[in-house]
Chain A
Amino acid sequence: MNPLEQLYQEIILDHSKRRVGAASLEGEPGAGEGQSHQHNPLCGDDITLRARVSADGVIESLAWQGDGCSISMASASVLAEGLRGHAVSEFAEANETFHELMRSRGKLAADEELEERLGDAAAFAGVSKFPARVKCALLSWEAAKDAIARASA
């Protein structure tokens, strides 16, 4: 695979079209919900993400609305699909791992262990070779972290 194909893995292109969790968010977040808006002024990527967290710390749902490039949209979709039913503490670990991957400048490969820890999000390994695109991949993770913290507050 050339770097472009590593960047735009099938999983990423597929998620950018499927947009799991994409919804039109209306009204204010209710009890047990938190919402976060993130914007990248550099390229205009924009996302609002709402998380519902149960009293015992399980992420029940992630819904989002946004506009942006395929990397940012796929990243939100992968999160919405992958996080449902996981504990907040598991998200925190995955978030650490994902940030580490994005900082790796292509040095971390998407091996089995990474897939174990990140699921479909491991497909973003190729993004780390393109520093200008790392922010696109991280935008929804920032939104999720913030929304989950608010929902758990």
Chain B
Amino acid sequence: MAVSDLPPLDDTEAARLRADFPILETRIGDAQLVYLDSGATSQKPECVWEAEQHFYETANAAVHRGAHTLAVEATDRFEDARAAVAGFVGAGEREIVWTANATEALNLIAYSFSNASLGAGGPEAQPFRLGPGDEIVATGMEHHANLIPWQELAARTGASFRWIPLTPDARLDLEAAADIVNAKTRILAFTHVSNVLGTVNDPAPLVAMAKAVGAFTVLDACQSAPHLPLNLRALDVDFAAFSGHKMLGPTGIGALYGRAELLDAMPPFLFGGSMITTVSMEKAEYLPAPQRFEAGTQKIAQAVGLAAAVGYLSEVGMDRVRAWEELLGERMLTGLSDIPGVRLLGPAADSGVQRTGTVPFAVEGVHPHDVGQFLDSRGVAVRVGHHCAEPLHRFLGVTASTRASAYLYNTTADVDALLQAVSDVRGFFGVK
């Protein structure tokens, strides 16, 4: 990914970007909205829904079916969108399969492996067959979407499910990983960026461990694709998943990345129209990837919207987004650590761990649900709860946490509004 030669993002530039996100002007009661919940879903710039609208106004038709002019136009825009998103994450065009979201992408992999394990896909599908004696490995910091599909795949195939534990300061324990990833390991699934901790896991050592034993790697890129320059081929993972709605795109669209030769050999998961070559009353033959995984009418306008979103991000420059969020994240970390009674969760502020602009914390004596309610009364929107990562919360010794997550449109004033509101929480609830 080209490093942009624009000056770094700063408050002035972020304020200019905000103008593209009309929702950020919303008032919450008497307060101005301070949106710090982009880890759950990002806000969208006007150009995203304008792209969808433009598609409906000028090109709407079913894709990969029919020969009329509009059908051809719609197919072109749909495939152009795929090329744009593929380029954004460093993938080949045929390596991007549209899904509804990351959850569906991860389930798609798991179900394709199960279908292979039931005998589907012929000899090419042999590498995807799992059974007793095989092991599937995830980690202790996964979002449920990158955990439960693997537990269930293990249960369906008779394989064992194992996980890489965390060090006391909530990093992946790579020493333990070196024992857990062994000759029986067939799949190693891990997140690039923790959706709770905001910490960045370096994929390199895990990819090396998996390669050494011939296991497939699955990268959950849900929290990295929106926030870091990402090149999936350079990371050398076999599969990856991400969601459009977290990266300025519409809801209802996400993608699975898979190395082309793997996707072509892996048996399909959903069956129906648009994914076949020939069908008889006895059986069907399937198209190569990505079409073999795209049964039924597709998320066409959403794909076009997501392409506009990655276009927007590329124009801003992902290296600039990364640097700005790091700055905002640091301001949150230091500011929150200075507030009496506030405890940061995960690695300490000075641990040197790479992070995005996501910070989880606890306010002593006040339940996260109450913290979130109080912050909302100041217009500050954060996430409270277990953020779909119950095992990680159990590890951290809490049932729930409060998480602030920034994006390119946040400013230092947003961070300061968060810090001010958090400083007032304990006083309001009468906790000393």
Contacts and interface: CB of A to CB of B under 8 A. Distances in A.
Contact of B373 (A7, A44, A67): A7
A67 B386 CA distance: 14
B400 A8 contact: no
B24 to A, nearest CB: 22
A44 B386 contact: yes
Nearest to A14: B430
A3 B370 CA distance: 14
B430 A13 contact: yes
Contact of A46 (B384, B385, B399, B428): B399
A47 B370 CA distance: 17
B373 A4 contact: yes
A2 B430 CA distance: 17
B429 A44 contact: no
Nearest to A45: B369
Contacts of A136: 369
Contacts of A44: 385-386, 399-400
A32 interface: no
A87 B369 CA distance: 34
B374 A4 contact: yes
Nearest to B386: A44
Interface string B391-432: 000000001100000000000000000000000000011100
A25 to B, nearest CB: 18
Contact of B385 (A42, A67, A130): A42
A126 to B, nearest CB: 11
A3 B399 contact: no
A83 to B, nearest CB: 24
A43 B385 contact: yes
How big is the A interface, by class?
20 to 34
A43 B399 CA distance: 9
Contacts of B233: none
Interface string A53-68: 0000000000000011
B352 interface: no
Contact of A13 (B29, B400, B429): B429
A145 to B, nearest CB: 23
B400 A133 contact: no
Contact of A70 (B29, B385, B429): B429
A20 B384 CA distance: 26
Contacts of A3: 29, 377
Nearest to A10: B430
A69 interface: yes
B367 interface: yes
Interface string A5-43: 001100001000100000000000000000000000011
A43 B373 contact: no
Contacts of A2: 29, 377
Nearest to B367: A69
B37 to A, nearest CB: 14
A13 B399 CA distance: 21
A42 B385 CA distance: 7
A44 B386 CA distance: 8
A73 B373 CA distance: 16
B29 A67 contact: no
A60 to B, nearest CB: 30
B219 to A, nearest CB: 28
A70 B367 contact: yes
Contact of B384 (A7, A8, A43, A67): A43
Contacts of A7: 373
10 contacts: A3-B377, A4-B377, A4-B428, A8-B428, A43-B369, A43-B384, A68-B369, A70-B366, A73-B367, A136-B369
Closest 6 CB pairs of A and B: A69-B369, A69-B367, A44-B399, A4-B377, A44-B400, A70-B370
Interface of B: 29, 366-370, 373-374, 377, 384-386, 399-400, 428-430
Given A71-B369, A71-B370, 10 more contacts: A4-B428, A43-B369, A43-B384, A43-B385, A44-B385, A44-B399, A44-B400, A46-B399, A69-B369, A133-B369
